[in-house]
Structure 1
């Protein structure tokens, strides 16, 4: 109470007690006392005279406002006019009444307490709502997609009551623009996918089942096509209104990965079929050579031996037959050696460097194409399986050059790096194109790439029109995990200018610069 008359204060307290209140009160007359009282205790209501010498009702309102308190002020005065009453009510007083008529005091206090309670509940609700909205915004802003609400009316009219900010990135449309013009989203869908979009939406609305749809969209001004996955849960708002809560996600990477996996499996199946075919052809070739060459020669030897069973012949006859048989045996030995070399060159036992040099010389002798080999070391110690794999890739490369390159010169470089082996074959032919590399029947290149991948290495092929083709393979000779950084570093140099060739950057590796 802000009241200077103790008698008036007692009369007010009696009214409150008769009204059913249990009263805890404090009577003050100064502003400092008011400030101390408001700090020391939580008060339900302030009852104040209109105009005390040291503290007016207007000052009381200001103190309450300064301390940011929600305490209703009821002015009780013995001399207040209508104009002053209207003024104090406009400033924020809850009610006013005359001391001579306190009949409305108890109802006014009850009403004020109820309104304060409602206001505090409203503030609490607002704070909870703000916290919830902040949390919701934080979640939606970090989701990899567009969170939305979608509304469908009985007349097939649609709307987006809510769209998250991610729509700008995914759809190229701001949330407000999409909410104002909901038909813009179906217009982004490619024509082939619009029918399934509307069909699945209709089924979901009729059966209240989850709406799952995947399709392609193209954002205006963007040449790329995006794959979108839409998932939403419906609920019936009224008989004619259905609303969905859902999310749209960009699944383009997943679809591209699926497509690559499918293509890889298809290519692998084709390669396997091709390898099986080649294996059967090679078996047939070897069988034919054994039958026609070795078998025919052995038959000839048998025919030459048959007359020797006649002991009545002259010595010259037997000497002639022996020379003939000796020549036939030499032919069998040569055929056996040639077939054996085709299956596995014995030169591999002398090391990969010797095998590469031998194969290059054999290629030059057979095709007339000059083939020069440069090695960083006279001997490179490799596992036998690794050496065979590198040798087979080199053989296939030379085969492709002889078939397609129209080259007159081939340069080969074999370099042993730190736990890596680098083989580079360059020709001066017509130059392979990207279309040639990607052709479905380019099994030779595909086989070389698969062989290198099996060895945890890398295979690169590039061509320059009318200037030639370069084939580069890089294979680890030790633990791949221990040398992965070095592998990446060297690989990154493949497309560098000539002075950075082979990733060596003018560093010396075992005498080879």
Structure 2
């Protein structure tokens, strides 16, 4: 009702005089009233159907309309309209009976002075009831929303209680507890001691310490540790975070959440492991670089330096003033020519080791040349298949692919025990696919994870630097296949999204390759 001092009153009364007296009494009490006087069931039906009423004032017993009829019809229409009985005679039994049926109050007409206070009390109760209904509806909506949110969270939302006598219990746990902890919320609430039993022995002390500190200092309860669900072989890392608050009787309640952080922990370990391997690889590469520098320095000193010294010794007798036969000078010239040829050969060999000049002819020619050199040096047959005689690549990319190819051949010669090697170099639009397979003893995961497997690490690291992907497969006595897939243009492959080597992707690549052939 917009204004509680305005009343719409339905009067069930035969006497117009009594109606006027009631309206006068309400006006003196400060109410502005709109009223309708009725005396029959039909009139009551129409009045209730066509208007809204704040109050029904009824005589106890009219010839055509009794109080029982009024209560029955109001109930049938499912209306919540207070009914106050104004009776001309006293009948306590009837009054008790009609109050039990749902009337709001019962009073005598000649003692109706308390009508105004009763109505004001009724209006206050109705207003409070309406507020209660609104609050209850809002609470129900909030509860539904909360349940919907917690039901879709992968984390366990919980409320934890510590009483003044040291007893602990879960007041609430969301449905995710069954997935994360293997315990239904009802069981966790009934048996709170089941949760600490899931914690691995090594982490129970830190769990208890963090709980005690949070309870004593009212600080955030922040704990990470491992649990193992009964019947599950896997160990889970969980993060528990809760905020405490004091309630009555010095009890403490925590509102918090438990999250499965196993993937994060495994990722952290993998990152730490990768960093360690990268540091080892960097140290190894630096060592190899220094060894290579020392080797080149020795070759220059021992080979080229020694040869140049020999040339100087051959030329020295030719510059003195002593007269000699022409044959002597001819012999010296032949000797010097031979020594110069040796210097040229040594220079060419060292240059080829540093950067094969064949790379200037393209990656296809370089791979074919390296394969022939490998076969000649090791006696292992190496066949190269290319879908094009010329694949245009950036110089740096061509060198990187060539070095990966060299490292793969080096690993085969050292470890594979193979008699045949097959190499495939394919241009897949914006991608370069290089595959090196052998028929050797194969490779296992243990081999790839060895502490000193720097060759594989080096190839994988080069691919990652090029934002490509590196994949190696094989089994005992099944040979080994190394596959790399690298972008060759501006359409760079994200390092965070390495190329997928699953069957569908390979099938598409190989289908394109077959069509080109």
Do residues 492 (structure 1) and 502 (structure 2) align? yes
Counterpart selection for 1:378 from 363, 384, 389: 389
Q: Deviations over 1:228-249 (max 9, x none)?
A: 2222111121453111122222
Give 1:390 deviation, angstroms: 0.8
Equivalent pair of 1:476/1:483 in contact (CA under 8 Å): no
- Unpaired segments ≥5 residues, structure 1: none
User: 2:505, 2:139 → 1: CA distance?
Assistant: 57
Deviation of the 1:259 alpha carbon: 2.1
Asked whether the equivalents of residues 376 and 509 of structure 1 are also in contact (C-alpha less than 8 Å), the reply is no
Q: Which moved more, 1:110-119 or 1:348-357?
A: 110-119
**Equivalent of 2:434 in 423, 434, 442:** 423
- Mapping of residues 166-315 of structure 1, within 5 Å: 166-238=176-248, 240-309=250-319, 311-315=322-326
Determine the C-alpha separation between the residues in 2 that align with 1:22 and 1:423: 95
The structure 1 residue matched to 2:511, chosen from 502, 505, 512, is 505
What pairs up with 1:34-53 in 2 under 5 angstroms? 34-38=44-48, 42-53=52-63
Q: SS at 2:36's partner residue?
A: coil
Matches within 5 A, 1:397-416: 397-416=408-427
CA contact (8 A) 2:493 2:499 kept: no
**1:440 corresponds to which of 442, 451, 458:** 451
Distance 1:487 1:244 in 2: 43
Which one of 126, 135, 146 corresponds to residue 136 of structure 2?
126
CA distances 1:226-274 after superposition (whole Å, capped 9, x unpaired):
2222221111214531111222222222222222222222222222111
- 2:466 corresponds to: 455
Aligned to 1:150: 160
* Alpha-carbon distance in structure 2 between the residues aligned to 1:433 and 1:34: 93
Instruction: Give the 3-state SS of the residue equivalent to 1:412 in structure 2.
Output: strand
Matching residue of 2:102: 92
TM-superposed deviation, 1:137:
2.8
User: How far apart are 1:109 and its partner, in Å?
Assistant: 3.8
**Structure 1 Cα separation of the partners of residues 442 and 328 of structure 2:** 61
The whole-number CA distance in structure 2 between the counterparts of 1:18 and 1:381 is 104
Shift of 1:133: 2.1
User: Under a length normalisation based on structure 2, what TM-score does the superposition of the two structures give?
Assistant: 0.89
Counterparts of 2:469 and 2:394 in 1: how far apart (Å)?
A: 18
* Superimposed CA distance per residue, residues 90-149 of structure 1 (whole angstroms, 9 cap, x where no aligned partner): 332223345566576555445434433332232222123223323333443444522221
What SS does the corresponding residue of 1:160 show, helix, strand or coil?
A: strand
Matches of 1:324 and 1:167, distance apart in 2: 90
Judge conservation of contact 2:463–2:470 (CA < 8 Å) in 1: yes
| Distance in structure 2 (CA, Å) of the matches to 1:494 and 1:96 | 85
1:399–1:106 Cα change, 3 Å: same
Which range moved further: 458-467 or 84-93? 84-93
Q: Is the 8 A contact 1:50 1:80 kept in 2?
A: no
Matches within 5 A, 1:347-386: 347-386=358-397
Paired residues of 2:156 and 2:177 also in contact (CA < 8 A): yes
Residue aligning to 1:470? 481
Superposed, which structure 2 residues align to 1:310-325 within 5 Å? 311-325=322-336
Question: Contact 1:45–1:72 (CA<8 Å) still a contact in 2?
Answer: yes
Instruction: Tell me whether 1:387 sits opposite 2:398 in the alignment.
Output: yes
Q: Secondary structure at the match of 1:222?
A: coil
CA spacing shift, 1:17–1:474, aligned 2, 3 Å: closer
TM-score (structure 1 length as normaliser)? 0.90
CA distance in 2 between partners of 1:380 and 1:107 (Å) = 101
Contact 2:164 2:251 in 1 (8 A): yes
1:76 and 2:86 correspond: yes
Q: Distance in 2 between matches of 1:482 and 1:55?
A: 88
Match of 1:4, SS? coil
Equivalent-residue separation in structure 2 for 1:334 and 1:105 (angstroms)? 126
The answer to whether the 8 Å contact 1:151/1:243 transfers is: yes
C-alpha change, 1:507 and 1:80, in structure 2 (3 Å) is farther
Gaps of 5+ in 2: 1-10
Between 411-420 and 78-87, the greater mean CA deviation after superposition:
78-87
Which deviates the most, 45-54 or 297-306?
Answer: 45-54
Query: What is the number of residues matched between the two proteins?
Result: 505
Alpha-carbon displacement from aligned partner over 1:71-94 (angstroms, at most 9, x marks no partner): 211233447866654543333222
SS at match of 2:54: coil
Q: Deviations over 1:178-220 (max 9, x none)?
A: 1111112212222222111111111111111111112222222
Distance 1:161 1:412, change over 3 A: same
Please say if residues 150 and 158 of structure 1, whose CA atoms lie closer than 8 Å, have aligned partners that are also in contact: yes
Answering whether residue 36 of structure 2 is matched by residue 26 of structure 1, we say: yes
SS of 1:156's equivalent in the other structure is coil
